[in-house]
Amino acid sequence: MDNDWTTARIIAETRRILRDTHGIDIDDRPDSITLEQIGIDSMQVMDIVMDLEDLLGIKIVDFDLKRSATLGDVAILIQRYLPARA
């Protein structure tokens, strides 16, 4: 697995997942947009997190992303579970 998963790269992948899987294009919106502003529900949040888990080969346990979370908050959550760089 590629260990170069910066915040910007995780946000870009989250945007891609939203667009390709959920039909939600937010490419012109800022990273500070909230999940609520995007209009996704808690089940879609779970789907997005699971897609990121699959992509990165990680398992996220016991997470609680509020609908007020931003794309940056999603990236921070994901980064907590990434293996440390060698």
Report pLDDT digits (tens) over 16-50: 999 999 999 999 999 999 999 999 988 898 899 99
Cβ-contact 78, 10 below 8 angstroms:
yes
At 11 the three-state DSSP class reads helix
Kindly tell me if the per-residue pLDDT of 4 is higher than 90. Answer: no
Residue 22: Cβ within 10 Å count: 15
Domain spanning 7-80: which CATH class is it, in words? Answer: mainly alpha
Cβ-contact 36, 29 below 8 angstroms:
no
d(CA 68, CA 10): 18
Q: What are the residue boundaries of the structural domains of the chain, listed by start?
A: 7-80
d(CA 27, CA 85): 29
User: Higher-confidence residue: 85 or 78?
Assistant: 78
Model confidence at 86, in pLDDT bands (50, 70, 90)? low
What are the residues facing 29 on neighbouring strands? Answer: none
Kindly tell me if the per-residue pLDDT of 2 is higher than 80. Answer: no
Q: What is the pTM of this model?
A: 0.87
Question: Mean of the pLDDT values across residues 80-86?
Answer: 78
